Amino acid sequence: MREAILVAHHERQAPDGVLLWINQLGEDGPFYLPADDVAAALPGQWRAIEVRAGWGSWAVLRRAC
């Protein structure tokens, strides 16, 4: 299931764009993945910054040059 979600987001991703990964419930959510795991699942090299806010977390991923 997690792989399908990543693929769905990636298909909408421009080659030089940005991917936002949002976990409303953070580590307690059913689909939680750390930003590093999301970056590793995407093709090519990606940089990720992950931030926690309240219960949730979000990450900004950019293709590495």
10: how many CB neighbours lie within 10 A of its CB?
Answer: 13
Lowest model confidence (mean pLDDT) among 4-8, 18-22, 52-56? 4-8
Average pLDDT, the chain: 77
Give the Å distances, CA to CA, from 47 to 50, 55, 65: 10, 23, 9
CA dist., res. 28 & res. 61, Å (int):
21
What lies within 8 Å, CB to CB, of 5 at 6+ separation is: 31
* 13 compared with 15, residue with greater pLDDT: 15
pTM to 2 decimals? Answer: 0.67
Per residue, what are the HEC states of 26-48? HHHCCCCCCHHHHHHHCCCCEEE
pLDDT tens digits, one per residue of 44-65: 888 899 998 888 888 999 888 7
